[in-house]
């Protein structure tokens, strides 16, 4: 469910009660323990060598009036995160989950609208392009979102999520068409031609001499069929980790020239701050298969981080959910999110290892336009509650300030 709620006094009261219960639960169990002594650090944190910084956020979820705001603004969709764009640009690679298709001229049901269409018209019509109005949770973002997302600092996106098939197979392929035209790499979906040619699911980003393989998958498609096999599934029918996903991770990890593998699963239970058991299993098996970083999405709220050490000593980091980076959802937990910053280091042996990780808490501030801002708690009572929530779920010692991004939190001997 990804609805654009209508705010009412009754809902505000219910949200306040739910938030109080959430904070009480988090104070006693789960995420607080997952903070691992209040911080997550890595053995290679202070070793010398080349470095690569990755920024990662959660969902880009453009409800209807967000699309209207974006299409009317000179900065387009990137206007929403302008206040924190410098955090994304402090990294060499920046990732997000694109939570819906961006399919030019495709109607519900996956059929082409037909007729002569101005492909450059920035028009939102609630038919071809829709954002979950009237509780009809079927999305199609205006294709302008793709070049705008790239212009706003992102360098790779996931296209595997529960809304991937909202415009059918044609919508998947039209979204890929828009991504390729803009030169924005993506992972998690493919065209029929790519399937027939047997191409790998992964995409490679290259920066500062590092090659990183990205693999994305989803738990499902909201019950819609994927008869053409264009979306990578995270799990087998019995809930076990998908062998296709694990094989892809193993193959990428074994490929000469690839320094690290990132898995981006769309998983979990919406609005729950604890990862599901099957997600923990997939995360662990992915790290054992060779993944260095796992960046999850879908719950629309923050979930904990976990450091996993493989039997051979390799360290992996799992970010179970980074929340809604931008959406029009109400409620403190759904407005509180984080930008994660993860650093890889290449040692003398040529291997890339996790070196450090940090995060900048963020907050979706309502307005015209909506804004993603650093959450310092200064925006008001709800933002203070959101910051408190973030510091309970995420390791407090890994928090960073948006005006001090030069060094990520790390622990050195002595």
Give the pair of three-digit tokens for residue 42: 């890595």
pLDDT value, residue 168: 97
The greatest distance separating any two alpha carbons of the chain, rounded to the nearest whole angstrom, comes to 70
Give the pair of three-digit tokens for residue 402: 């948006």
Query: What is the rounded CA–CA span in Å between residue 395 and residue 318?
Result: 13
Q: For the whole model, what pTM was predicted?
A: 0.91
Q: Split the chain (414 residues) into runs of 10 and give each run's mean pLDDT.
A: 49 51 46 59 92 98 97 97 98 98 95 76 90 90 98 98 98 98 98 96 97 98 97 96 98 96 98 97 98 98 98 96 97 98 90 95 97 96 98 97 96 75
pLDDT value, residue 38: 84
Q: Within a 13 Å sphere around the CA of 216, how many CA atoms are in the beta-carbon half? A: 29
Query: What is the rounded CA–CA span in Å between residue 153 and residue 301?
Result: 23
Task: Report the first-to-last Cα separation within the chain, whole angstroms.
Answer: 48
Extended strands (E) in 183-298:
186-187, 203-207, 210-218, 260-266, 293-295
Query: What is the rounded CA–CA span in Å between residue 319 and residue 305?
Result: 5
pLDDT value, residue 102: 98
Domains, the chain, with CATH or none: 45-398 (3.60.21)
pLDDT value, residue 348: 77
pLDDT value, residue 231: 98
Query: What is the rounded CA–CA span in Å between residue 276 and residue 32?
Result: 16
Following DSSP, what letter does each residue of 83-106 receive, concatenated?
A: GGHHHHHTSSEEEEEE-S---TTE
DSSP-based three-state secondary structure for 43: coil
Instruction: Give the phi and the psi of residue 309 in degrees, each rounded to 5.
Output: -110, 120
pLDDT value, residue 33: 42
Query: What is the rounded CA–CA span in Å between residue 295 and residue 297?
Result: 7
pLDDT value, residue 28: 42
Instruction: Give the phi and the psi of residue 2 in degrees, each rounded to 5.
Output: -140, 50
Query: What is the rounded CA–CA span in Å between residue 28 and residue 5?
Result: 30
pLDDT value, residue 35: 46
pLDDT value, residue 23: 47
Instruction: Give the residue among 241, 262, 359, 368 at the shortest CA–CA distance from 316.
Output: 262
* Sign, Cα dihedral of 406, 84, 95, 318: positive
């Amino acid at each position: 469910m990804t609805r654009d709620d209508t705010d009412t006094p009754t809902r505000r009261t219910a949200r306040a009660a739910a938030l109080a219960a959430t904070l009480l639960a988090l104070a006693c169990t789960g995420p607080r323990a997952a903070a691992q002594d209040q911080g997550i650090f890595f053995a290679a944190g202070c070793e010398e060598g080349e470095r690569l910084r990755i920024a990662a956020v959660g969902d880009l979820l453009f409800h209807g009036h967000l699309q209207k705001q974006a299409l009317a603004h000179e900065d387009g969709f990137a206007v929403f995160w302008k206040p924190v764009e410098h955090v994304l640009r402090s990294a060499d690679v920046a990732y997000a989950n694109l939570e819906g298709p961006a399919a030019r001229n495709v109607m519900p049901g996956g059929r082409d609208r037909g007729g002569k269409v101005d492909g450059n018209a920035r028009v939102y019509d609630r038919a071809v392009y829709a954002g979950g109005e009237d509780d009809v949770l079927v999305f199609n973002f205006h294709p302008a979102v793709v070049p705008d997302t790239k212009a706003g600092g992102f360098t790779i996106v996931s296209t595997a999520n529960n809304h991937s098939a909202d415009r059918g197979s044609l919508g998947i392929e039209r979204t890929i068409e828009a991504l390729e035209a803009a030169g924005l790499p993506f992972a998690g979906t493919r065209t029929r031609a790519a399937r027939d040619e047997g191409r790998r699911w992964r995409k490679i980003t290259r920066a500062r001499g590092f090659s990183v393989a990205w693999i994305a998958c989803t738990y499902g498609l909201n019950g819609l069929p994927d008869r053409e096999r264009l979306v990578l599934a995270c799990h087998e029918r019995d809930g076990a980790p998908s062998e296709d996903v694990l094989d892809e991770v193993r193959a990428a990890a074994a490929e000469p020239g690839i320094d690290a593998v990132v898995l981006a699963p769309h998983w979990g239970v919406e609005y729950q701050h604890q990862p599901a058991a099957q997600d923990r299993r997939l995360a662990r098996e992915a790290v054992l298969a060779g993944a260095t970083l796992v960046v999850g999405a879908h719950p629309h709220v923050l979930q904990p981080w976990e450091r996993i050490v493989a039997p051979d000593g390799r360290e992996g980091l799992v970010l179970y959910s980074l929340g809604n980076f931008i959406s029009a959802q109400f409620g403190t937990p759904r407005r509180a999110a984080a930008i994660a910053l993860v650093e890889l280091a290449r040692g003398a042996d040529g291997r890339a290892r996790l070196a450090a990780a940090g995060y900048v808490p963020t907050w979706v501030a309502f307005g015209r336009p909506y804004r993603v801002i650093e959450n310092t708690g200064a925006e008001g009572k709800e933002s203070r509650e959101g910051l408190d929530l973030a510091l309970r779920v995420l390791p407090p010692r890994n928090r960073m300030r948006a005006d001090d991004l030069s060094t990520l939190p790390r622990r050195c001997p002595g």
